[in-house]
Structure 1
């Protein structure tokens, strides 16, 4: 389950970020979808690895935030 969560979280966030950043940097035109997919092909594997790496830290931060440090 943690691996699937990481995969879906990375897939969705990478697509959203690639869309926003690519559109803001290159503008809206007919070539935008191709540029987004090109950026996504690089970003998705990186995002997946990052989500897997930071998951334990985020889980601890959530636990600490909900319960408090003590």
Structure 2
């Protein structure tokens, strides 16, 4: 278990991992339509995507929260 103060980082870690896994798989399949060795190639593409996605999520999440706060009415 980790302290609650690290929850936003853990959330970003898991969210970026899951989203980059799904998006890289779909993008790679649409771009290549390779079936033989697909999982191996996909995992390489995913790890690269995740390495970019994790810091981006940590940076962009506060901006997204502020934008949503400006667009919504408290209630």
In structure 2, runs of 5+ residues without a counterpart are: 1-6
**2:4 paired residue number:** none
**2:42 paired residue number:** 36
Q: SS of the residue aligned with 2:68? A: helix
In structure 1, runs of 5+ residues without a counterpart are: none
Deviating runs (4+, > 3 A) in structure 1? none
TM-score under structure 2 length normalisation: 0.82
What is the RMSD computed on CA atoms of the aligned residues?
Answer: 1.4
Residues paired across the two proteins, number: 68
**1:15 paired residue number:** 21
Q: Which residue of the other structure, out of 27, 30, 33, is the alignment partner of 1:24?
A: 30
- Distance (Å, rounded) in 1 between the aligned partners of 2:46 and 2:27: 11
